[in-house]
Structures are given as structure tokens and as C-alpha cells.
Amino acid sequence: MTVAVWAGVVALGGVGAVLRFLVDRAVARRLTGAFPSGILVVNVSGALLLGLLSGLSVGPTTALLGGVAFVGSYTTFSTWMLQTLELGADRRTVLAVANILVSLALGLAAAAVGWWIGAQL
């Protein structure tokens, strides 16, 4: 791996993390309530992007930079699980289960749609 690729991983990873923060906060401000809608939007849009990259059959360097560096830092499994755990601890079991089921269903659908779009291009 070249220094340029390493620099790309650092830069795109940083951009992805900052974008996750901005999207999460923007959505959470508009959709108030106990349901963690900001992270749902982040993770579903990230699944769409990763599906698109897969459908495009990009090369290994582009997959590393776009998929691992950018999308990997943009999406967040740990925050999703922590928010689910917090909902359960607050005895909001229906919301906790909904967070898991809705995230999985929409994430899988978004990845499939992204892959399909990428394969058509």
C-alpha cells in the first residue's frame, strides 16, 4: 500500500466520521423522540452507499477508500447497539426491538437497492 492510499484512508475516514456526526444531529433535531432516528438514517444511507460500491464492482483500492475508510467510519454498529441497549434499560422494549428490526430490514433493502443501481451503471 502506498503512502497516498494511507493518506486517503485517513482523510476519508475523518470525513466519514464528521459526516456521521452532522447527519445524526441534523436528523435527530428534526425527528425528536426516543427512537434513535439519526443513527438509523446514517446506517441505512451507508448501507445504500456500500451496496452501490459493490454493485459497481470497483477495484480494490477504491473499495478500500470508499467502503472501508469512508463508509466504515460513516456508519456505526456500536452506537446503534448502545442506543438499543439504552432503550431497553429505559424499559422501552418495543422501541429497542423496533430499532433492531427496522434497522436490519431497511439496511438490507438499502444495500440491495444500492447494489442493483451500481450493477445497472
In terms of Cβ atoms closer than 10 Å to its own Cβ (0-12, 13-18, 19+), residue 121 is: exposed
Phi-psi group of 36: left, alpha or beta (phi > 0 → left; psi -120 to 50 → alpha; rest → beta): beta
Q: CB count, 10 Å around CB of 35?
A: 18
- Residue 76 in marked binding region: no
- Residue 72 in marked binding region: yes
Q: Which residues fall in the annotated binding site?
A: 72, 75
Q: Which residues fall in the annotated binding site for Na(+)?
A: 72, 75
